Amino acid sequence: MAEFLMVYHGGSMPETDDEIAHEMARWGDWMNSLGGQLIEPGAPVGKSKTLSASGVTDDGGANPVSGYSIVEAENIEAALELIKACPHLDSGTIELAPLIDMPV
pLDDT digits (tens, 9 = 90+) for 11-25: 888 889 999 999 999
Superfamily of chain region 2-46+60-98:
Dimeric alpha+beta barrel (3.30.70.1060)
Of 74, 89, 69, nearest in space to 11 by CA: 89
90: pLDDT strictly greater than 90: yes
The whole-number pLDDT of residue 11 equals: 85
Task: Report which DSSP code applies to 99.
Answer: P
Taking the C-alpha atoms of residue 11 and residue 47, their distance in angstroms, rounded to an integer, is: 13
Taking the C-alpha atoms of residue 15 and residue 30, their distance in angstroms, rounded to an integer, is: 21
* Domain positions in the chain: 2-46+60-98
Contacts of residue 13, defined as CB under 8 A and 6 or more positions apart, other chains included, come to: 44
The whole-number pLDDT of residue 75 equals: 97
101: pLDDT strictly greater than 80: yes
> What single letter denotes the amino acid at residue 59?
D
